[in-house]
Structure 1
Amino acid sequence: MGRASAEISQDLGGKNELEKPGDAQVLEDIFSSQVNLGDTLRYDQTHRKLKNRHIQLIGIGGTIGTALFVQIGVSLTKGGPGSLFLAFTLWCTFIMAINNCLSEMVTWIPISSPFVRFADRFVDPALGFCAGINFFVFEAALIPYEIVAFSVVIRFWTDEIPVVAIICFVLLCYALLNIFAVRYYGESEFWLAMGKVLLAIGLIAFTFVTMVGGNPLKDVYGFRNWNPPFAEFLKTGSLGRFLGFLACLIQASFTIAGPDYVSMAAGEAEAPRRVMPKAFNSVFYRLTTFFVIGSLCVGIVVPYSDPDLLNAISNAHPGAGSSPYVIAMRHMHIPILPHIVNALVLSAIFSAGNSYVFCASRTLFGLALEGKVPRFLSHCTKGGVPIYCVLVTLAISLLAFLQVSNNAAIVLQWFVNLVTASQLLNYAIIAFTYLRFHKALKVQGISRDTLPHKSFWQPFCGYYALAGTFTMAFVGGYTVFLPGHWDVPTFLFSYLMIGILPVLFLAWKVIHKTEWRRPEDVTFFEAERMEIDRYEERIEQ
């Protein structure tokens, strides 16, 4: 992901037909760009090797992780099972809207790092710069989040291993995998993601089997833990129940993703016009199933006021199990299954962090190729690894050491706040970019019926996604403004990116004198689309 435009010309054999000077000049003539595309062509070496199964599992595996298995218990205690289920169901509608926006654009123009470059081409190069930096921060911040979660979950078995040692070990593994074994990344992440899917399905099955009496206690507990369904948070009465629902909605906005991960694979997908629509649709429906049913199951297996759950959250003490599922298993006196689940959760956390290292470093690499960060970051090793980008990403991951001097639960919440704001801003940019794309098509007389994939309820989905995600970006850290709740780190982690992005936009716009794209002047990656057409004609022969 995150590379510049040349990779779309590479067919399955790896031949880059745009390396001819004439074609490179065509790109220069078509695009009004700050970037030397000739340099981009020489540096980008991606191939279209990802199959449909890879793309679907990358989209699912990049989303399913700690938040669904462990962190979701925090929201359960704040809002109760009813609020948790309603919030996750509601937020899936916003993800559907984002999915519709991305699928229509990406299927027609399946290039690497698409939504970053779409913002550049359809709106303003300054917005493309902001989108790239924001997505890099989002991915990079998730790495220390997963590392902290890894150290919490591993202590389910022992407290003897120092936190510093765990952090150093995980960082070393990420460095080795991303510097020396990156060629195995796609296939390994496929199988690791498959493990996450099986874990999610297994926990759903565990819930429905045990709730009807399939447990050692023979306890048919059903929906007993749904009484009452709504918890009060911060305040009492109706306001307290609403704030509990809002806390669950904030958690859902952090937990549920997917379309952006699918789009990242567009530039390296085989037969993208045929594969990408299927990938977008299948990933959305599968993720919706996992998250909606998963949020239902969490509220079934354990009460939101359970003392062990509250203690695990407040003290980050995994001896009782950080996961609500593990706590439920121990309550039912199931001796072995908690260890199996804990091991699978641990592997899921490690896999998620590893994928974030890869994605963040490739985002930074793409920005370097496009001239939007220092050019030295585009340097690669002989094995094709952007070494400096990987090192910068791992340096940011050192934020995981905040856990050494702070409670792990507090540190996890800081990173949740930071990446939630970045993710929501990223989605808002995608929605706004689509609205500009939709208007440009209309102004230029291009019928959406001629596109390879036409999404439904447009442009309503664009406006719906923009309003919801932009609003939630500001709501995420609202608790710091309540009396007695002011906390400087929480405020900074919640609103830092919201303050930085406008500064980045204005700085890039002033320095580079970029212009806001008028709908009639928007270009739709003509050279890239022409090459994709030629590529698909070849593979269909």
Structure 2
Amino acid sequence: MDSLARPPSGPSNNDNDATSLRSEKKGAEFTAEMVEEVELVRSADRTKRTLKNRHIQLIGIGGTIGTALFVQIGATLTKGGPANLFIAFTLWCTVILAVNNCLAEMVTWIPVSSPFVRFADRFVDPALGFCTGINFFVFEAILIPFEMVAFNVVLHFWTDKIPVAAVICAILVLYTFLSIFAVSYYGESEFWLALGKVILIVGLIAFTFITMVGGNPLHEAYGFRYWSPSKVAGAPFAEYLRTGDLGRFLGFLACLIQASFTIAGPDYVSMTAGEACAPRTTLPAAFRGTTFRLIAFFVLGSLCVGIVVPYNDPDLLRAISGARPGAGSSPYVIAMEHMGIPVLPHLVNALVLTAVFSAGNSYVFCASRTLYGLALEGKVPRVLARCTASGVPIYCVGITLAVALLAFLQVSNNSAVVLQWFVNLVTASQLLNYAIISFTYIRFYNSLKVQGISRDTLPHKSFWQPFCGYYAFIATFVMAFVGGYTVFIPGHWDTPSFIFSYAMIGILPVLYVYWKIRYRTSWQKLETMTFFENERQIVDEYEAEINL
């Protein structure tokens, strides 16, 4: 065990919290052993603050952008049309911006490992903290094999001669190396990989603008041709499943569901809080950058997709129905082929390949740190809080990578089927996670008000609060139930789709009730709620030391 870091000497990070557990939970029956375990584990946070501002900014991008924005968005375009796609993505960006405002205010003041999981515990109910952590861990961990399967699909754009098992093994080795040997390697790798995503999306936006004004081999200024009903039947609003206004509304819902799965960001930034260098400075800047990322990547990205190709393009429909590999199903690649541009599709596929690898790399980090946060709060076995000398939660990373072995399902099943399994399972998890974050912030906001703590004293004060908290909570909670709506349309019932779409909605209450009954927890009172005083003091002392 010499390679494992020992708990820090000196005062416990959370001596007062053990006392508060006894005093605040008058109806809770925490045993002496349980309090002691939580107290010991919380004091053992040994992750290292090595992630710089540029790392965190790009990590927020790395976990946000994957194949959905470049490839899968084409299938959604065919369902809703360019206008529905643009409106849905723009609308959902406002929801994620609201979530960002909630997280930014809490995390910059309390930059601890696995923050929003532990906030749910401390600001609402330990039972909610437990089910939040399990939900987010499952969500992140399942996305790792999703991206590994997607990596192999993208690779097939060039060749299908490489064995699937060999590709999966190679990716696992790389993720293991980047996750275990040093977190600084992860930060650097994610910085450069995510930079490739930025180059790709900026390049595609530039490609759209240049070609739409005539800068293409055909010398044709097509502009917003594919938004015109006189040029494309049904444009710019497509009908989906039904005709008329109902069909156009269902098309909008399809686009909104895709947006709710595709658009993310603030949760990935928050997961770096426990390992951020100078968090009081770097985290506010990273959260502020989320606004610009949402506009640049998702709002403009969704607009460009509807400009370069019509929603009913025969080549696009054939590529989607035939599961054309890699970037071959991308609206951008199909537009390039229409214009007779031979080299760019290969460049796009190469950058999409790095985007997929980068997304999986981010998910390994976030899933392992979520499990680590659960260990710090005593929600999973204490041994999982062990870190290596370089500050890596080794056992948490090991379990996360073990889940990634699900990617081997692709060896005996169709890639498209496996991808859909993963997507259906985790879409509701992401929405429920955002709903819990928003609700946690509402409790945090109200407690500050009751205890007379001015938000002006916080390192970062977000705007339009508490409106953003309520807006994000209602929108994400409702969308979690809307995601599988197609099964309720007459003639479209599908039992597997129903189960995958609503599994986590049913599992989360069970987890909550299990923990609440087993440990007889009670809701935190606004008047006596604590705000990680000892952890904040440690961060204050650390920042004072590095600023000397």
Question: Which is worse superposed, 162-171 or 329-338?
Answer: 162-171
1:429 has 2:436 as partner = yes
Structure 2: 5+ residue stretches without partners: 23-29, 229-234
Q: Structure 1 residue 73: deviation in Å?
A: 1.0
Q: Structure 1 residue 168: deviation in Å?
A: 3.7
Correspondence 1:142-291 to 2 at 5 A: 142-180=143-181, 183-227=184-228, 228-291=235-298
CA distance in structure 2 between the partners assigned to 1:39 and 1:70 by the alignment = 47
Correspondence 1:139-538 to 2 at 5 A: 139-180=140-181, 183-227=184-228, 228-318=235-325, 321-380=328-387, 385-538=392-545
**Aligned-partner residue type, residue 64 of structure 2:** T
CA distance in structure 2 between the partners assigned to 1:417 and 1:57 by the alignment = 27
Question: Which is worse superposed, 444-453 or 158-167?
Answer: 158-167
CA distance in structure 1 between the partners assigned to 2:435 and 2:500 by the alignment = 19
CA distance in structure 2 between the partners assigned to 1:440 and 1:62 by the alignment = 31
CA distance in structure 1 between the partners assigned to 2:372 and 2:46 by the alignment = 12
Superposed CA deviations along residues 300-351 of structure 1, whole A, max 9, x for unmatched, are 1111112222222222122880222111111111111111110110011011
Aligned to 1:91: 92
CA contact (8 A) 2:438 2:469 kept: yes
Q: Structure 1 residue 439: deviation in Å?
A: 1.1
CA contact (8 A) 2:88 2:252 kept: yes
Residues 340 and 518 of structure 1: CA distance in aligned 2, closer, same or farther (over 3 Å): same
CA contact (8 A) 1:60 1:287 kept: no
CA contact (8 A) 1:97 1:462 kept: yes
TM-score w.r.t. length of structure 1: 0.92
Aligned to 2:26: none
Q: Structure 1 residue 275: deviation in Å?
A: 2.5
The alignment of Structure 1 onto Structure 2 pairs a total of residues equal to 527
Aligned to 1:28: 18
CA contact (8 A) 1:315 1:409 kept: no
Q: Structure 1 residue 458: deviation in Å?
A: 1.1
CA distance in structure 2 between the partners assigned to 1:385 and 1:530 by the alignment = 23
Structure 1: 5+ residue stretches without partners: 1-13
Q: Structure 1 residue 432: deviation in Å?
A: 0.4
1:127 has 2:128 as partner = yes
CA distance in structure 2 between the partners assigned to 1:319 and 1:153 by the alignment = 3
**Aligned-partner residue type, residue 525 of structure 2:** R
CA distance in structure 1 between the partners assigned to 2:464 and 2:75 by the alignment = 34
Percent identity at matched positions? 73
CA distance in structure 1 between the partners assigned to 2:14 and 2:468 by the alignment = 37
Q: Structure 1 residue 273: deviation in Å?
A: 2.1
CA distance in structure 2 between the partners assigned to 1:346 and 1:386 by the alignment = 28
Question: Which is worse superposed, 509-518 or 20-29?
Answer: 20-29
Q: Which runs of 4+ in 1 moved over 6 A?
A: none
CA distance in structure 2 between the partners assigned to 1:539 and 1:323 by the alignment = 47
CA contact (8 A) 1:315 1:407 kept: no
Q: Structure 1 residue 386: deviation in Å?
A: 3.8
Aligned to 1:109: 110
TM-score w.r.t. length of structure 2: 0.91
Residues 66 and 450 of structure 1: CA distance in aligned 2, closer, same or farther (over 3 Å): same
CA distance in structure 1 between the partners assigned to 2:161 and 2:105 by the alignment = 52
CA distance in structure 2 between the partners assigned to 1:535 and 1:123 by the alignment = 28
Question: Which is worse superposed, 152-161 or 63-72?
Answer: 152-161
CA contact (8 A) 1:258 1:284 kept: no
CA distance in structure 1 between the partners assigned to 2:111 and 2:308 by the alignment = 42
CA contact (8 A) 2:117 2:373 kept: no
Q: Structure 1 residue 38: deviation in Å?
A: 5.2
CA distance in structure 2 between the partners assigned to 1:254 and 1:398 by the alignment = 23
